[in-house]
Amino acid sequence: MDLLRSVKDQTDETEFHTPLPEGYRKGRTKYVVVVGTVISGLGKGIFSSSLAKLLKDKGLKVAPVKLEGYLNIDSGTLNPFRHGEVFVLDDGMETDMDLGTYERMLDQDLTAASFTTAGQIYTSVLKRERAGGYLGRDVQMIPHVTGEVKLRLRELAMETEADAVFVEVGGTVGDFENGFYIEALRELAYEEGPGSTSFVALTYIIWPPSLGEQKSKAAQLGIKRLMGVGIQPDIIACRAGKPVDEKVRQKISIYTNVPMERVFSMHDLSSIYLLPEMMREAGLDSQVIQLLELGNRVNSLSDARAAMQWREFSARIGHSSGEVTIGVTGKYTTVRDSYASIIKALEHAGVANNAKVNIKWIDTTSVTGDNVAQSLKDTDGIIVPGGFGVRGTDGKIACIRYARENKLPYLGICLGFQMAVVEFARNVCGLGGAHSTEIDPDCKAPVIDILPEQKQIEGLGGNMRLGGQDVEIMADTVAAELFGGAEHIRERFRHRYEVDPKYIEQLEAAGLKFSGRHPRHPIMQILELPGEVHPYFIAAQFHPELTSRPLRPQPMFVGLVKVALARGVR
């Protein structure tokens, strides 16, 4: 975004500060705002993306945005133990895992405009102040910081030509760090006018075991806090382990002035992909269409077609003819959100193969050559996922060697690709001391390295190679078969290290095939062992899990589950 964007209403003659993008029409784009109460982590992104999907099914253009309260500019430096996986968009923006939920549910590629942090907001405001963008005004939280939030939402609306922008506010109402977001959204609803904005409060219905019944008092107080800052919710989504009792819903309705038909029981389901249909049956999509006066934009034929397609998909969830166990070998296995996209990609692949996929979590920090067989016992295939740093890499290499030598189906991702090269170089090519300079800067055979000439080629400097990149697929390979004979695919990357080109000839002469490459430069992006050597041994420098969608499962995961099934249905 430009430092001094072309906006209106920037004078010092009024207390109003309503910056509008050039050409923006108030009221044309509608806004659905989802906020949380009681506790965080209840699934605001799941609810928001499911509701957005239902509106998209009706032929409407939707654009989601996540508003985060932390001061980081992006999620790239966040520890997976603290914040779950880092999700990378096609344009290279590093975001939190909720953006993955939106992309999967909507089957829609997002951009950096769909992810905003407090750090981004404050940085923009202060840069504009230094450049004289506020015409000498004293810059304040209200109206200038809130004005920046509103401007970004309206710019997203303009950029995407959305009928509805879905705004998810991170955290819960009452959190200090997101207060300015909630105030900005209150102002937005006021400025856009009646019928422009619908507020959803996601709350939590507790069930104390000692009482044996659902209690709504915490939910009531949380929603009252939202109302206390000037926002009247239109819809209440009640998270609970079991369906919310009608009496509890009645209490919520009375205390919040929200009609019963808009107090929704969002109880636990076996898959998040069952939620859209449950919301459709409850009529939430129709309620939002009515609240936002979008009825004249609905395409009923599109809605019926999309609903049938999703029902066919969701009907296959939980109904399988086979069962497999896939081992995920990493160092963040105690926090499942660290591998959220891998979990979902396996679910998509399971449905595609009519199989139930169980995941066995294997912490590689304790895996050695002596215990690897026991660690991988009862797995039908393994995934070695991405990661950074030294810890756990020896265990990953041990897992890769076991999979290669014992013909256990294998999928390597990013670091899993690099460690597969290291393992092959050591144990097949006989390159003693083969390693990555990330792990051992002084290794004798740096088969994985940061290459100065490649940094110049990519224009990356010292930064990571991030976002969508083209991959050229070699003909007559496993990769070509997986991707339906495509000569080029586009996948998402997040790495610094590459296969050193001087070792490629030696590695391939020993039997390793680099079946996916950069279209123009000597950058290896997919490796595999031929089918006659191993039933399924393939790895990608990119992150295939980031592009898997429910109705378009990622081929490398589909292939893994398919071959794992062939090892013997249990």
Q: Which of 399, 414, 429, 443 is catalytic?
A: 414
Both 373 and 256 in one domain: the answer is: no
Residue 7, pLDDT above cutoff 90: no
Q: How far is CA 214 from the centre of its chain?
A: 32
Which residues, in sequence order, are CB contacts of 345 under 8 Å at separation 6+?
Answer: 544, 545, 548, 553, 554, 557
Both 308 and 326 in one domain: the answer is: no
Both 424 and 295 in one domain: the answer is: no
Half-sphere exposure of 219 (CA within 13 A, CB side): 29
Q: Is 543 a catalytic residue?
A: yes
pLDDT band at 330 (very low <50, low <70, confident <90, very high): confident
Q: CA triplet 320, 324, 330: central angle to 5 degrees?
A: 135
Mean predicted lDDT score pLDDT of the chain: 91
Both 292 and 330 in one domain: the answer is: no
Half-sphere exposure of 134 (CA within 13 A, CB side): 21
User: Considering the domain boundaries, does residue 108 fall inside one?
Assistant: yes
Q: Which of 495, 518, 534, 543 is catalytic?
A: 543
Q: CA triplet 73, 114, 552: central angle to 5 degrees?
A: 120
Residue 537, pLDDT above cutoff 80: yes
Percent of the chain with pLDDT over 70: 93
Task: Give the single-character DSSP code of 333.
Answer: T
pLDDT band at 490 (very low <50, low <70, confident <90, very high): very high
Structure token digits, residue 453: 């000439």
**With the C-alpha atoms ordered 245, 251, 252, 257, is the resulting torsion angle positive or negative?**
positive
Structure token digits, residue 6: 């072309």
**324, 331, 402: which is closest to 361 by C-alpha?**
331
131-135, 272-276, 563-567 — most confident range: 272-276
Both 275 and 338 in one domain: the answer is: no
User: Considering the domain boundaries, does residue 91 fall inside one?
Assistant: yes
Which residue, of 293, 312, 331, is where some domain finishes? 312
Residue 389, pLDDT above cutoff 80: no
**378, 326, 375: which is closest to 347 by C-alpha?**
326
C-alpha distances in angstroms, 543 versus 139, 338, 417, 426, 502? 42, 14, 10, 25, 25
Q: What is the structure's pLDDT at 570?
A: 45
The pTM assigned to this predicted structure is 0.92
Q: Is 545 a catalytic residue?
A: yes
Q: What is the structure's pLDDT at 3?
A: 47
Both 306 and 326 in one domain: the answer is: no
The helix-helix angle for 44-57 and 275-282 (nearest 10°) equals 70
Both 241 and 110 in one domain: the answer is: yes
Q: Is 348 a catalytic residue?
A: no
Q: Lowest mean pLDDT: which of 25-34, 338-347, 419-428, 560-569? A: 560-569
Residue 484 identity (one-letter amino acid): G
Both 328 and 274 in one domain: the answer is: no
Both 214 and 305 in one domain: the answer is: yes
- DSSP labels, 216-281: -HHHHHHHHHHHHTT---SEEEEEESSPPPHHHHHHHHHHHT--GGGEEEEE--S-GGGHHHHHHH
User: Considering the domain boundaries, does residue 441 fall inside one?
Assistant: yes
Other beta carbons within 10 angstroms of residue 390's beta carbon come to 11
Q: Which of 423, 491, 528, 545 is catalytic?
A: 545
- What is d(CA 115, CA 111) in angstroms, rounded to the nearest whole number? 8
User: Considering the domain boundaries, does residue 138 fall inside one?
Assistant: yes
29: domain CATH number?
A: 3.40.50.300
- Report how many domains make up the chain: 2
Other beta carbons within 10 angstroms of residue 210's beta carbon come to 4
Q: What is the pLDDT of residues 167-220, one digit of tens each?
A: 999 999 989 999 999 999 999 999 999 999 999 999 999 998 888 889 999 999
Both 304 and 432 in one domain: the answer is: no
Residue 10, pLDDT above cutoff 60: no
Give me the mean pLDDT over the 305-318 stretch.
Answer: 94
Task: Give the single-character DSSP code of 206.
Answer: B
- Residue span of the structural domain in which 48 resides: 14-312
pLDDT band at 320 (very low <50, low <70, confident <90, very high): confident
